[in-house]
Amino acid sequence: MSDANTKIKETVTNNDVVLFMKGTKEMPQCGFSSKVAGVLNYMGVEYSDVNVLADEDIRQGIKDYSDWPTIPQLYVKGEFVGGCDIITEMTLSGELDTFFAENGVGFDKEAADKIREANA
């Protein structure tokens, strides 16, 4: 197992919610990363962010690890959930609320409802 793969596995195993993204949750450096971080931040989800721009091995390694070609990538309890389009769809359908609740991830239900109302 490569160093990057080991580091990724440890990160997704040791943190309940992890977002592999371009930039940081405070300063995203691409629109897709910004959108997913914005949803998580607005919903009050506690999560770890991994800036793939800071490490080329992690940037490629996360794509290999998940067999998913794009970034951002969201992991919950070690499970790959999806990228920007999937997280957006899950947020708007309420599926993300259910997924978080089933996995014991705290979030602001009222904020999630406001996202849906604003996009109705």
Mean pLDDT of 49-65: 96
Helix, coil or strand: residue 60: helix
Which residue ranges make up each domain of the chain?
Answer: 3-118
- Please tell me the CATH code under which domain 3-118 is placed: 3.40.30.10
Q: What is the mean pLDDT of the chain?
A: 96
Report the chain's terminal Cα–Cα distance, integer Å.
45
Q: Indicate if the pLDDT at residue 54 is higher than 60.
A: yes
Quick one: pLDDT at residue 1?
Answer: 53
CA distance 77 to 17: 6
Quick one: pLDDT at residue 2?
Answer: 79
DSSP H/E element including 82? strand 79-82
Quick one: pLDDT at residue 120?
Answer: 85
Q: Indicate if the pLDDT at residue 59 is higher than 60.
A: yes
DSSP per position, 41-53: HHTT---EEEEGG
